[in-house]
A and B are shown apart, each in its own frame.
Chain A
C-alpha cells in the first residue's frame, strides 16, 4: 500500500463527500438529526436534573438506525441507476479503493453531523459537573456503531439500483443487526443461543463503550463487522453480474 493508493482513495473520497453537500439531502439529514437529537435530549434533561448524557446516548442508536441508511442509500444505487458506475469502475482504481472511499466519505459525513451536535455536551458541561468518560465513550461508541450501520447500508446499496429499496432494506438490515442482542429478544431466544446473539448484536457493544468502558473486545467486534460488509461489498462490485 503506497501513497499513490491512498491518494487515489482521497481523490474519490473528496468527490463523494462533496456530492453530499451538492445535494439537499445533506442539509435535510443534518437538520433532522440536530432537531430530533436536541429535542429528545432536552425533553427530559431538566426534569431529571442530572448533568449526564446517558439518556441521549441511549437514544442515539435509534436515531442512527434511520439516518444511516439515508446516508448510504444513494452511494451505489445512484451510480447503478445513472450508469456512472461504468465510468467509475473503468477508471484505473481497484474495487477496494472505490468501496473504501465511499465508506469513509459516509463516515466522515456522520462525524461532521456529530460535531455539529457538540452543543449538547457543552451545555451539559456548563450546567454541572460531568463525568467526561461516558461522554467521550458515548461519542466513540456512536462513531463505531455509525460505521457498522454505514458499512451494512453501503453493502445493501450495492445490491440494487433503486434508492428507496436500498433505504428500506438497509433499515431492516441495520435494525436486525442492532436488535439481535437486545434484552427483550434474548428473553425469547433459546438458552444456548443467548451468548452468541448477545455478542453478535450491535447494541450491547455500543452500550459497553458508552458507559466509558473501552474494551478492545468491543472495538475489534466493530472493526470486524465493518470489514466483513466492506469485503462483501467488494465481492458484489467485482461480480458486476448485473445488466
Chain B
C-alpha cells in the first residue's frame, strides 16, 4: 500500500532522514517509533505530501507522491502532530468545510458529518468554537477531519500526546476500530501504545531505521535476554563479589537499596543457562537470605532503549 524507497530529507546540511526504506501493507497498523527528533514527523509530512523529499520515492497504491500528489492526498487522512485547526470556526462549520473541500456529494455531507461526530464523540461540542475546546476534544476534531472522506490510509502523528489516561484509552480504541479496515501509520514515542495498537513496528533513530518487525519479533531479535532480579539481605560488597564470581553470569549490578543490609541485584545469565538454583545455593551457603526473586523478560522498552542509544 505504501512503499518508501531510499527516502532522504536534508535541511541545508542537516540530514533529517538518511536513506530509509520500508513498506506498509494494506490493512496494517504500523507503529512508527523513535525518540523525539528522530525523523518520524518528517517522514509523515513527506508521505502526506506537505514536504518534498530531497531524494527517494514514496509510493502510495502504486502512485508516486511527487507526481500524483493530488490523487494520493485523496486517499490519505492526515492528523499532523500539532493538530492545527481553524480556531475561529465552530466544530460543525469546520467539519462541513472539510467535507466540502474533500469533495463529498452534497446530499451526503450532512449524513457523513453526523456519522463522524458520532464516531469521534463530538456531539457535545459540535456548536462550540474550536478555540474553546480542550486538548482532548481538539485531538478528536483532528481525527474527525482525517476520517471525513473515509480514506484508505490514515497517517496519525502522535495522536495521543497531551491527553489524560482516559482520553488516551478512548483514542486508542478508536484507532484500533479504524485499523480494522484501514491502513494506519501511527507515530509515537509511547511504547505502551505500540503494543496496544500496532501489528508491526518500525523504529527510527537519527534518521535511520534501526529496527523493524512485530513487537514480539523485535523482542526476540534483541536476544531474548532475560534478567534475574534478586533481593538479598547481606553485606553489599561481599554479596556483589560472590555474585560476580559466578561463571555463568554475564553482568551483575546493584539495582536498588532497601536498607543498609538489603539490596536488590540484577543478574544477566549466559544465554540458555538457568542460574536460579545455583544462585539460591550460593546465597544460603554464605548465610545470607533471599527476600525477593523474580525473572524479568526484555520488554519493548528495553529494545527501544537499546536500539536508539
| Interface of A toward B, CB cutoff 8 Å | 4, 8, 11-12, 15, 18-19, 22-23, 82-87, 89-94, 240, 243
Contact = CB atoms under 8 A, between A and B. Distances in A.
Given A22-B88, A84-B84, A91-B102, 18 more contacts: A4-B103, A11-B100, A15-B97, A18-B89, A19-B88, A19-B89, A23-B88, A83-B80, A86-B45, A86-B80, A87-B85, A90-B49, A90-B76, A91-B101, A92-B71, A92-B73, A92-B103, A93-B70
A8 B100 CA distance: 8
A92 B145 contact: no
Given A22-B89, A92-B74, A240-B50, A86 B101 contact: no
B286 interface: no
Interface in B94-135: 97, 100-103
Nearest to B80: A86
A12 B86 CA distance: 13
B51 interface: yes
Contacts of B36: none
B48 interface: yes
Contacts of A89: 50
Nearest to A95: B69
A234 B175 CA distance: 36
Interface in B41-55: 45, 48-52
Contact of A84 (B49, B86, B93): B86
Nearest to A23: B88
Interface of B: 11, 45, 48-52, 70-71, 73-74, 76, 78, 80, 82, 84-89, 93, 97, 100-103, 145
B70 A8 contact: no
Contacts of A87: 78, 80, 84-85, 145
Contacts of A94: 70
Given A11-B97, A15-B97, A86 B84 contact: yes
Given A86-B50, A240-B50, A240-B51, A93 B101 contact: yes
Interface centre among A12, A86, A89, A243 (most CB of B within 10 A): A86
10 contacts: A11-B97, A18-B93, A19-B86, A83-B82, A90-B78, A91-B101, A91-B102, A92-B103, A240-B52, A243-B11
Q: Which 4 residue pairs across A and B have the least CB separation, nearest first?
A: A83-B84, A84-B84, A92-B73, A22-B88
Contacts of A93: 70, 101
B47 to A, nearest CB: 10
A11 B101 contact: yes
B87 A82 contact: yes
B58 to A, nearest CB: 13
